[in-house]
Chain A
Amino acid sequence: MGRALSLKVDRKRLEEKINLLARIGMTREGSERTAYSIKDMRAKDALTYLMRRSGLRVRVDGVGNVFGKTRAGTGPVVMIGSHIDTVPSGGRFDGVVGVASGIEIARAINENAVELRRPIEVCAFSAEESSRFGVGTLGSAVVAGELDAKDIEPLRDRLGTRLGEVLARLGRGRDAINRSRRHPSEIDAYLELHVEQGPILETGRKKVGVVSAISASTRLRVKFQGRADHSGTTPMNLRKDALAAASEMILAVEKTCREQVEGVVGTVGTLNLLPNAMNVVPGTVELGIDIRSIYSATKRKAVELVLQEARRISERRSVELDATIIKEDQPVTLDGDIVSLFEDICRSREIPYLNMISGAGHDAMKMARITRSGLIFIPSRRGISHNPDEWTDLGDIEVGANCLLEAAVRLAG
């Protein structure tokens, strides 16, 4: 154990790995490695180089998840993972820091001949970002058995390309996709390091966020159907203005999540307006509502209140209402022992840390279904993410990677 404490990642090599991965697909508009694009796959190929160079055995599964395993140790692995795909015009650090740190951790363990009972397996999951196929954390969901070939093959991108075709070109048929599922007995624990993508750590001058739960969202589509009328000839009292109804709805979502229910965030992120003309009273408005919490019951309550309010608005204004829940995910509580382990490590290293919940989805949330899982955050400058201006200082990445290294050694030792 004393040995593990003195073991460190090599800052320069960590930086080199991050730069190498981040550079592929980099343009003036940011990093462009949307899931299964050529740039994403080139980055994965480069990843196999980084893994082999660090002495890892490399394997690519049926959905293009890339695994690199240390040679020593037996039995179930301690997995360290994240992703290297990006949103369009994404940042340099989102996902990449976790994968690069994982490889550097495995290298440090290999080169210093640290004897562990368990192998370490580093993983880059495919399609963590939902930008291309509309479903996020796809690679880890398949590994965790939440999705299988019949769920993911029919997914299409904006150009109409089926994910099934994309995977077939990768040489991955239905059987290979389904074989990507891992049995819980193969994985002893899952660890992930990720940039916070929010402002909390920076504002609180903390270096590490120990995540105890990952919130999940319920997504609603609420449609108000009024009547499109001439904006000059229709008196105010005879209108059925769908946008005016929608405006009340937007404020109701805000009020519900701000004043009525605690521990929930709600956002109206999309608004489709028909006919969307200056001289027509809006006839149809569709709102996309995202409600998130780390507590299922709280989220359910907020959703119920929002729907009640929608019905009230529709009655009062005599507009028709069509409300559908289009997606409902369950919040995830991360493993209490691993949370304590990370807290211990931060305390013993005198790292200012904070207990946090994650408002964004991560691969750890899928892996938590099949194994004890832990997630730590490092600061994002000004909280900016999914943006070329995303930034995390190398020193902060190093601190996080060393915490993860110690956690991995303690779990695998």
Chain B
Amino acid sequence: MARKRRILNSKQIQALIDSLAKRILRSVKDQKSIALIGIKTRGAYLSRRLQDKLAQSLEVYHGTLDITLYRDDLNVLKENLTVGESEIGFDLNGKIVVLVDDVLFTGRTVRAALDQILDLGRPSVIHLAVLLDRGHRELPICPTFCGKKVRTQREDRVEVSVREKDGVDEAYIIAP
């Protein structure tokens, strides 16, 4: 039987997003603009919320990335492929980019996102912001901004619900 343990409630998630926004803002205080790119699907909702907070202080470009075509375990003979689902409507060249995702695990999703961004242009720097870092990295990838580190077992699942999609802000660890 799977055991489901709540690790974040709505208030805590809100607080983590606030804290991420503050730290991102502090790190780019000399800049006029920043580009937030949310990795679909949940990263995209989180990046929207960060955008709302940061937009009061500086110019924020926002885009979303669908990394399907760049996954390293993509089975082209079985899976659905998407074209045009990434939505970036601004020039990436020279931008300060902050990639946003909900959970950082093996790092493979971030690797795919980096490859895709670099196919499209040459930002001056790419940062990574995640709500949760659950460890068990398989690639040398490290978040610039991390909401919270959580200890997990390799086999656990970590799920983040967002109110825009799931009706509620919550995070769980699900043990097999």
B-binding residues in A (CB < 8 A):
20, 23-24, 38, 41-42, 44-46, 48-49, 52-53, 58-60, 64, 66, 161, 169-171
Contacts and interface: CB of A to CB of B under 8 A. Distances in A.
A60 B91 contact: no
Contact of A53 (B82, B91, B119): B91
B70 A42 contact: yes
Given A45-B66, A170-B82, 4 more contacts: A20-B119, A24-B119, A60-B84, A171-B80
B123 to A, nearest CB: 13
Contact of B87 (A44, A52, A66, A170): A52
B1 interface: no
A39 to B, nearest CB: 9
B5 to A, nearest CB: 36
B89 interface: yes
Contact of A161 (B77, B82, B84): B77
A169 B83 CA distance: 11
A23 B89 contact: no
Nearest to A67: B84
Nearest to A50: B120
Contact of B80 (A23, A42, A45, A170): A170
Contacts of B76: 38, 169
Nearest to B76: A38
B84 A44 contact: yes
Contacts of B86: 45, 48-49
A17 to B, nearest CB: 11
A41 B83 CA distance: 6
Interface centre among A53, A58, A59 (most CB of B within 10 A): A53
Nearest to B71: A38
Contact of B83 (A45, A53, A161): A45
Given A46-B120, A60-B84, A52 B89 contact: yes
A23 B79 CA distance: 25
B87 to A, nearest CB: 7
Nearest to B70: A42
B38 to A, nearest CB: 15
Which secondary structure dominates chain B's binding surface? loop
Nearest to A48: B84
B89 A169 contact: no
Interface residues of B, number: 24
Contacts of A23: 119
Nearest to A16: B93
Interface in B105-150: 116, 119-121
B74 interface: yes
Contacts of A64: 83
B77 A45 contact: no
21 contacts: A24-B119, A38-B74, A38-B76, A41-B81, A42-B69, A42-B70, A42-B119, A44-B84, A45-B116, A46-B120, A48-B83, A49-B88, A52-B87, A52-B89, A59-B84, A64-B83, A66-B84, A161-B77, A170-B81, A170-B82, A171-B80
A60 B83 contact: yes
Given A42-B70, A46-B119, A53-B89, A58 B81 contact: no
A331 B175 CA distance: 66
Nearest to A59: B84
Nearest to B89: A52
Contacts of B80: 169-171
Nearest to A64: B83
B139 to A, nearest CB: 20
A152 to B, nearest CB: 17
A38 B116 CA distance: 13
Contacts of B79: 169
A46 B88 CA distance: 10
A35 to B, nearest CB: 13
